[in-house]
Structure 1
Amino acid sequence: MQIKKLSYISLLASSLVVAESTNSSSLLTDILFYREDNLILLPFAYSSESMGTGGGMAAIVQGFLQPQTTLILSAFGGLKKDVVINGTKESEYTRGGFYYLDNVRIPGSERFFFSSYGYLTTIAEQNFYFDSTHESSDKDVLNSPATNNMLTGTFSYVLPWGEGIDNPGGLYEIKDGFVVGREDAGGGMPFVTGRTSVGFTAFYHHQKIDNYIDALGVGIDVPKEWNSTGLRVFMSHDNTDFDDNPSRGYSFFLQYSKDFGKYESLQSWDFLEFKASKYFELDTFSFTRQNVLALNFWTAYSFSWENNNEYLPGIDAHRPPMWEGPRLGGFVRMRGYDANRFADKAAIYATAEYRAVLDYNPIKDGTFGEWAAENIPIDWFQVVGFVEAGRVHDRYNTELLSDMKYDVGISLRALAAELPVRIDVAYGDEGVEAWVMVRHPFDF
């Protein structure tokens, strides 16, 4: 079976810089690990129809400034790629950089934390779906070089409830990729046990599309630039044994996002989202170290989205940008479809994953030599099978549960430098998609 599209992202660049491609030929991931104490350097290479051929370098610093803080830096670039821009054949290349600073305790406080991420990228050929309704065709796609810039800052407060009383920073002891001393954790009464946080995020996103004349072949005037600036407010509750790789317990997340239409934003918009996950620890086999059934549900609704009123031809008034709002498709939800393939006023989604950590680890058992066993920070490999279902609709009603989109897939994951890294391959009714990403999809 031919993979229709293959998307690559720096293994350390979280969920923030995605490139879609068509009929990609190959993908080369990590070629070397370098580790010294809490610093890990990770060169990588890629080849895809979207980004062309190139490579880069990423770095992880665990315990940066404070024991619970992680810093991730990544930079990448590629060779020039031939593309068509407004009817003219030109050469473009992918380049960019990314940073992620997570969980910095604000000086003088035990419970206030700050996180931030940002990136500057130019993608040689990106896919845009301006008609993204449930009934839309994947042929109605605009391919264009695009610039994507993002900056966010998050302030969170860990409430003095449950585990937040004695461990607001969420520090755990990890041995061989598994949490230690948490045998009784996971589950229990919400807010009585577990860790609960509230906070807000300020964000800015800029997107510039180069190929805008006669978009989609029907003369729709797409926005050449889409700026969005706003705030999110959220509540997060984690009641699992290990937030990075849970084996039991549950978590849920509620967030409201709003762009007020100020500071050069294209238009105002908002949306509300809710996510819940549940984990069941299962019996192991002779060849596995851990077996888990993981379930996830997500739903979203945009109060502002006006389906019967247009800001521009083909762009509904007060709809969130294509990278925001009630949307499906990509490396998080409906992985058998292109990134941001479906979007509308309302969305619903559910998935089940069977996660099995293998007893076999050729890195640690010395297959590749003593140097690899001591210096390549891969603690385990995990095989995952998953199924997904979801739909978008112009109203939040029972129609969301009818004629849903489905996909199935398999994933190979590894705990590298104490972060899950995954390669997902999923099949839906529009073809096969493959994604390379960090963290489990439920974490986004």
Structure 2
Amino acid sequence: MRKSIFPSGILFALALSLPPGTGAQYVIHEGNETGPVKSRTIIVPYAFSTETLGTGLGLGGSVGFDSQPESLSYGSAYGTSNGSWLLLLGASNLKAPGIGRLYISPYAMFTRQTQMRIHGGVDNPGHPGERAGSNDSSKDNYIEENAGEATLNLEMRYILPWGHYRENTIHSYVTRNAILQENPSGAESWNPLESGKSTLLFRPYYRNVFTDVEELETLYFELGFEHDNRDYLPNPHRGYKWNLGISHDFDWLNHTRRWTSVEGEIDGFIPLWDTSWSRQQTLALSWWSAYSPSYDASSPDHDGKPPYFTGPTLGGLWRLRGYPSNRFHDKAAIYYGGEYRVMPEWQPFGEIEFLDPLMIRWWQFVALAEVGRVAPGWNVETLHTDMKHSYGLGIRGMFNTGIGRLDFVFCDEGFSLVAMFGQTF
């Protein structure tokens, strides 16, 4: 069975609309450029087709700010043949007034899906005794409902005055032929005080999913720390990144329940040999795990369980991409990912005039493989038994200073086309 996964609310066309406004805390000086590429406004119409949405038409776009090259605003809207629709508005890396190292990234999304699939929720009478979303659950154990969704997110990041960001919060790279030549942002020392970028994260997040069967609501707060010691943030060639975070819902709203989830991630980047046909080859590796100490997996009411779309969950845009979004979720989860990224010597985009508005700097192809699983407890042996797999190929491109990606991924439940912006890790 063929599946198409498009991000709920952003879609591939928005990935194309994001790059002209970078939304990144860096600027790039390429070759003989005397300054950073200026942000511009772009609007992109798009069309798509998926199993659950039907055929859709939409519009995506972004607006960058010359005065704040690290910031942008963006939006997307679509309507589909089965009556589904979406509206998304957001901004990235807005500098907080009076607090020079604090950046805020808000967004709001409202959507209606007439055939939303959820691998979880109420017990499915067609699969008695089986927990939907568990590691051994059937791919057909889902509910498909007429559903609405509202999401509000307010991400706040404070850049600590350490390492390469000791003096400034915006890093300047010097590249030649899309390869970093001078001024890396990390990978020069293991000491966070000397190398890389360290960030404190605080994020209030609200999401309400209501179907004809039930309403799922959460208002949780995430607190985290991240140390990014990669040499070149948009396309790392060496270095590493790690983060730790904790999320908690205090059960302040009518349809919420109290839950807690902790997670950690480590990503590493290993430079490989170059060849006559490649400009750069990189092995990118990722490990991630999450655990919910509040979840009583033996409880028939799933007491303390995080919502299916957060905490220990796998499947979708970032981890186990061959599976549907949030296909697996439980008390604990683990994930391993690897990508072989190759930037070919052949980069023809400067010679293709009609592509100039997209400001394509380079492209690369990717071979990817992933394994992971969820479990009712954090046990090393259990988490490494009967793991799920996905593998595939991808195409990445850099538009101004943003990354767009398109991954073709296979698993034992079918095939997925995943489109999004930003490298996976």
- TM-score (ref. length: structure 1): 0.83
Task: Name the structure 2 match of 1:336.
Answer: 322
**Cα distance change on mapping 1:353 and 1:176 into 2, 3 Å:** same
Asked if structure 1 preserves the Cα contact closer than 8 Å seen for 2:394 and 2:405, the reply is: yes
Task: Name the structure 1 match of 2:149.
Answer: 148
Task: Name the structure 2 match of 1:307.
Answer: 297
Task: Name the structure 1 match of 2:25.
Answer: none
Alpha-carbon separation, structure 2, partners of 1:230 and 1:32: 30
Between 1:177-186 and 1:391-400, the stretch displaced more is: 177-186
Within the candidate set 204, 207, 222, 1:205 is matched to 207
Q: How does 1:235-250 map to 2 (within 5 A)?
A: 235-250=225-240
Alpha-carbon separation, structure 2, partners of 1:177 and 1:108: 35
* Residues 288-329 of structure 1: CA deviation (Å, up to 9, x unaligned): 222110000000000111112133xxxx11211111110111
* Residues 165-217 of structure 1: CA deviation (Å, up to 9, x unaligned): 1222345456665555235842421412111011311111011113x3xxxxx
Task: Name the structure 2 match of 1:54.
Answer: 56
Q: Which residue identity does 2:398 align to in structure 1?
A: L
Alpha-carbon separation, structure 1, partners of 2:422 and 2:291: 25
Between 1:190-199 and 1:385-394, the stretch displaced more is: 190-199
Task: Name the structure 2 match of 1:94.
Answer: 84
Asked if structure 2 preserves the Cα contact closer than 8 Å seen for 1:156 and 1:200, the reply is: yes
Within the candidate set 386, 391, 406, 2:368 is matched to 386
Task: Name the structure 1 match of 2:79.
Answer: 77
Asked if structure 1 preserves the Cα contact closer than 8 Å seen for 2:185 and 2:230, the reply is: no
Q: CA deviation at 1:375?
A: 2.4
Alpha-carbon separation, structure 2, partners of 1:41 and 1:276: 36
Q: CA deviation at 1:31?
A: 9.8
Matched residue count: 395
Alpha-carbon separation, structure 2, partners of 1:135 and 1:184: 43
SS in 1 for 2:349: coil
Alpha-carbon separation, structure 2, partners of 1:40 and 1:176: 25
Q: Which has the higher contact order (CA 8 A, sep 6+)?
A: 2
* Residues 199-249 of structure 1: CA deviation (Å, up to 9, x unaligned): 311111011113x3xxxxxxxxxxx11110121101011111122221111
**CA-atom RMSD in angstroms:** 2.5
Alpha-carbon separation, structure 2, partners of 1:44 and 1:395: 43
**Cα distance change on mapping 1:34 and 1:339 into 2, 3 Å:** closer
SS in 1 for 2:233: coil
Q: How does 1:189-204 map to 2 (within 5 A)?
A: 189-192=190-193, 193-204=195-206
Task: Name the structure 1 match of 2:113.
Answer: 123
Task: Name the structure 1 match of 2:123.
Answer: none
Q: CA deviation at 1:144?
A: 1.9
SS in 1 for 2:319: coil
**Cα distance change on mapping 1:288 and 1:60 into 2, 3 Å:** farther
Asked if structure 1 preserves the Cα contact closer than 8 Å seen for 2:367 and 2:392, the reply is: yes
* Structure 1 gaps, min length 5: 10-15, 20-26, 82-92, 213-223
Asked if structure 2 preserves the Cα contact closer than 8 Å seen for 1:29 and 1:46, the reply is: no
Q: Which residue identity does 1:268 align to in structure 2?
A: R
* Residues 22-64 of structure 1: CA deviation (Å, up to 9, x unaligned): xxxxx99999999795222222111122111122121222336
Asked if structure 2 preserves the Cα contact closer than 8 Å seen for 1:177 and 1:415, the reply is: no
Task: Name the structure 1 match of 2:9.
Answer: 17
**Cα distance change on mapping 1:361 and 1:112 into 2, 3 Å:** same
Asked if structure 2 preserves the Cα contact closer than 8 Å seen for 1:206 and 1:226, the reply is: yes
Q: Which residue identity does 1:379 align to in structure 2?
A: R
Task: Name the structure 1 match of 2:418.
Answer: 435
Asked if structure 2 preserves the Cα contact closer than 8 Å seen for 1:34 and 1:42, the reply is: no
Asked if structure 1 preserves the Cα contact closer than 8 Å seen for 2:173 and 2:184, the reply is: no
SS in 2 for 1:309: coil
* Residues 237-288 of structure 1: CA deviation (Å, up to 9, x unaligned): 1111122221111101111011111122431111001011001122222222
Within the candidate set 326, 349, 355, 1:363 is matched to 349
Asked if structure 2 preserves the Cα contact closer than 8 Å seen for 1:187 and 1:248, the reply is: no
